[in-house]
Structure 1
Amino acid sequence: MEKIIDKLAWFHIREGQLLAVRSKGKTLFYLPGGKREQGESDEQALIREIQEELAVDLVPGTIQYAETFRAPADGKAAGVTVQLTCYFADFTGDMSPEAEIEELQFVAMDDKAVCSQALLVAMDWLKAQSLIR
């Protein structure tokens, strides 16, 4: 039976590149975001996760569904899939890596070597929409 890790993720694009984050002790970059807690809406969970990881506040009225992606989960057993429900949103504040996040980086299609599979699937979609280079 397939195991699915259900996560929310934030798309933040600047100059044709997508914001990605790397957790402490990991080598690959991921989309910022995380899992819902009991009773949270997608919007509430995404706002909380981004605040915890990047110390910025997403602007509630600007949160807009983008797409949902599935890919093999990085560092997990075969048959474990990550499902990313992705949103665009504006933010306020100055971004900095917090909690388990060690590094932020803006990635483009030529940075595939450092990206998790789920991030690559999302990047292919964004590229097809002409949103990243």
Structure 2
Amino acid sequence: MGKVIDKLAWITIKDGKFLAVRSQGKELFYLPGGKRELGESDEQALVREIKEELSVDLVPSSIHYAGTFTAQADGKAEGVSVQLTCYFADFSGELATAAEIEELRYIDSSDQPICSLAALVVLRWLKDQQRIR
């Protein structure tokens, strides 16, 4: 078993598409979220990361587990994988890029070429669940 990068990710869906983000200087889109800091619960870390990246507040009572997905980590050595523990949640505020995020976009299965490997795994699952087109 290689190295696993453990991350939390937020799934929000609108009009048959889900929200993905792209970092400055990168080409591929991924799910917004990030890593837990010491002592944080998944919910606390997700709320903090989404506020930092997208300037919105997740509604804590609406956060619910979606699934855990693993894929090869983009731009990392072979055998380095990323594990995304994904949650659905409602939010308040206006989505706006912040921190290292350069672009946000709602994507569906027609956007596979611009997705990171981990985002592709989630995209296929959402499509199988008939949550996105």
TM-score tier after normalising by the smaller chain length: over 0.9
1:42 is matched with: 42
In structure 1, list runs of 5 or more residues that go unmatched.
none
1:54 is matched with: 54
**1:18: how far off?**
0.7
1:81 is matched with: 81
**1:57: how far off?**
0.2
1:104 is matched with: 104
1:70 match: secondary structure: strand
1:82 match: secondary structure: strand
Identity, in percent, stands at: 66
Residues 1-133 of structure 1: matches in 2 within 5 Å? 1-133=1-133
CA offsets per residue over residues 2-21 of structure 1, 9 Å max, x none? 00000000001000001000
CA offsets per residue over residues 67-86 of structure 1, 9 Å max, x none? 00000001111110000000
Letter in 2 for 1:127: K
2:82 match: secondary structure: strand
**1:107: how far off?**
0.5
**1:60: how far off?**
0.3
TM superposition score normalised by structure 2: 0.99
Alpha-carbon distance in structure 2 between the residues aligned to 1:67 and 1:127: 14
CA offsets per residue over residues 19-76 of structure 1, 9 Å max, x none? 0000001000000000000000000000000000000000000000000000000111
The alignment's C-alpha RMSD in Å is 0.5
Alpha-carbon distance in structure 1 between the residues aligned to 2:89 and 2:105: 18
**1:87: how far off?**
0.2
TM superposition score normalised by structure 1: 0.99
Alpha-carbon distance in structure 1 between the residues aligned to 2:79 and 2:126: 25
2:95 match: secondary structure: coil
In structure 2, list runs of 5 or more residues that go unmatched.
none
Alpha-carbon distance in structure 2 between the residues aligned to 1:46 and 1:11: 11
